[in-house]
Amino acid sequence: MNYRHAYHAGNFADVVKHAILALILRHLRQKPAAFRVIDTHAGIGLYDLESEKATKTGEWRDGIGRLEARLPAEAEALLSPYREAVEAVRLVHGPMAYPGSPLIALHGMRREDRAILVEKHPRDWPRLRDAIGRDRRAKALELDGWTALNAMIPPPERRGLVLVDPPYERPDEFTHLAEALARAWAKWPTGIYALWYPIKDPRDVDAFCRTIAADGIRKVLRLEVNVDADGGPDRLNGTGMVVVNPPWRLAEEAAILLPALAQRLARGPRAAWRADWIAGD
């Protein structure tokens, strides 16, 4: 799978991933100490849903496009940090703009918090730099994300979030991701790690989760929305995140938000969700 994000911006996977990201950031803000966000595969930061690439797939219509109506009250309250980030970006860049994870992160940060945004692609990195503008809280680096993951932890703030969202170009990406997480956790076992993954063949995801559990990493939450259980292993049928050291109550919040999103984003009659522990509770 080559997940070139400009084709998929604002799709169902983005909605779920960015809603979880915004919730984690809300939890981080509840403590006074500064935190750092490290985004290892940041992309270009800002997307135009009227661009040629986005129009070619039209995936946003079954993602952010389905959120014009509000969710049930409890779920809507949990979606509000994500909605607020999207609305803030659109106030500046227009109604068809969509924020990538860097701008979601910046919206969720305070003045004292910091972000390191990493992108390797030589054409994407300048666009990422332009997207964050002169925001002194953030630095965009042209660097391999896996190198950054190893080199930049633990951060000076000693608390924060590492978001790992690779393009899944490698056939062994799940194995590589699990190995990278194990090395990072050994260096910084108290950090929050959020690892995004696509769901095509659920057996690949199950093997990935078993590997993480076998590595001895504690407090690992698995969050998923599957929009089409009958889609077959050649399609993107679902989206998931493994969250290490999730904030208190994130599992309970996910159990309210994810079923509402699964219902709203469903592509068929067998949409599903899960929020369970791979390791620890």
pLDDT 10s per residue in the chain (281 long)? Answer: 445 677 889 999 999 999 999 999 999 999 999 999 999 999 999 999 999 988 888 999 999 999 999 999 999 999 999 999 999 999 999 999 999 999 999 999 999 999 999 999 999 999 999 999 999 999 999 999 999 998 999 999 999 999 999 988 888 899 999 999 999 999 999 999 999 999 998 999 999 999 999 999 999 999 999 998 776 777 899 999 999 999 999 999 999 999 999 999 999 888 999 999 998 86
Domains, the chain, in order of start with CATH, read 5-279 (3.40.50.150)
Residue 234 appears among annotated catalytic residues: no
Q: What crossing angle do the helices spanning 73-93 and 101-108 adopt, rounded to 10°? A: 110
Nearest-angstrom CA–CA distance, 83 and 22: 9
Q: How far is CA 34 from CA 42, 136, 192, in A?
A: 21, 15, 14
Nearest-angstrom CA–CA distance, 161 and 191: 6
pLDDT, residue 3, reads 53
Q: Which one from 135, 165, 276, 281 is the annotated catalytic residue?
A: 165
pLDDT, residue 4, reads 63
Q: How far is CA 130 from CA 32, 46, 93, in A?
A: 30, 9, 13
